[in-house]
Amino acid sequence: MAAAASSTLHGVGAVASAKPRSAAPAAARRSVRVAAAAAKGGAGPARGRMVARSAVAAKADQAAAAAGSKSGGHEVLMFEALREALIEEMNLDPTVCVIGEDVGHYGGSYKVTKGLADMFGDLRVLDTPIAENSFTGMGVGAAMKGLRPVVEGMNMGFLLLAYNQISNNCGMLHYTSGGQFKIPIVIRGPGGVGRQLGAEHSQRLESYFQSIPGLQMVACSTPYNAKGLMKAAIRSENPVVLFEHVLLYNLKEKIPDEEYICCLEEAEMVRPGEHVTILTYSRMRYHVMQAAKTLVNKGYDPEVIDIRSLKPFDLHTIGNSIKKTHRVLIVEECMRTGGIGASLRSAIIDNFWDYLDAPIMCLSSQDVPTPYAATLEDATVVQPAQIVAAVEQICQ
């Protein structure tokens, strides 16, 4: 039991590196099922072809992909990048399936699964009733039996109804089964503060899920990393929650034509700098970059890091930046009390206290239900002017 609970990730009860007794037979059984499914007509030209199920991309491969494809790549919106990732992984592996409300012929509430039901059929793209606890539990059971389900919450706030399945089942079954079961499931969907969506549809669930042992969390912020993180999450042997911001689906970016994946445990250096480290993720990346333009004009040189991996934190990248700048500002859309920023600040204090020349500052959303009125809604979320003022205070 102890071996099954051991972790190679900071803060995540990941699949143990030592294989449990039943791992080899289970892997063999899964290979047989995959081959059989492919032989019966796995969708797409790559049917029957398998890829290594690795959650971590080699840095050299990632750097090559980031440099762009030989043919120049192609422009996609973020929801299209997520859709491409699903199509590619479903073509490569017949055990990958999609479960959720309106994911089938309607194509999902933000069209991430548009056309997938026609490509792969109603059993691999399964429309469900409005019952988050039921279909999330069904996804966990499917993962235990060798499938790789991608469960969509129509809105992340709705997944609170499935908190028991996400916590007691997704996060803990690998441990409580003594390593007999892996739970390779992806739970994804739109969240964050939108445009006058009201309190219940403006939830930031990062703070709810971060304390669940065994669960991994990532947040995409660009079409490039949305596709790469989705593919890596599907290939991971761990349960992964992928947070997508409702206001970022229509972001456009050129991505490589060649296949690539992003590391689930690696932060992204957005802007190198010397004076202060700004740690952020998701939509706040763009508020920070807007503030960075003003800060540069005022003579400051901020280093901006998109942490991307909300659990575990990439303390290697974060630490190297702090050792250079000696000042830290955390900017998040999550709630201030018990949020990602609070956990990140604690980790920095524990590991890099001696490198700090100023107190860590954290800008977070107000601890209030998100108002419907646009002006009040804006007042609850961190704005670029606040980021500029915070940096000026830290660098005094």
- Catalytic residue list: 132, 201
With both helix axes pointing from N to C terminus, report the angle between 78-92 and 223-235 in degrees, rounded to the nearest 10. Answer: 30
CA distance 373 to 76: 32
What counts of helices (H) and strands (E) characterise the chain?
A: 15, 14
**Residue among 186, 320, 342 nearest 264 (CA):** 186
How far lies 308's CA from each of 206, 225, 227, 352, in Å? 12, 9, 13, 20
**Element (H or E) spanning 127, and its range?**
strand 125-127
Dihedral angle, C-alpha 69, 75, 78, 79, nearest 10 ° = -110
CA distance 13 to 339: 20
Q: Alpha helices of 124-245 — where are they, by DSSP H? A: 132-144, 163-164, 173-176, 206-209, 223-235
Pair 215, 239: CB distance under 8 Å: yes
Residue 38 backbone class (left: φ over 0; alpha: ψ -120 to 50; beta: rest): alpha
CA distance 324 to 41: 54
Helix (H, G, I), strand (E, B) or coil at 222: coil
CA distance 283 to 249: 11
Residues 6+ apart with CB under 8 A from 252: 75, 76, 77, 223
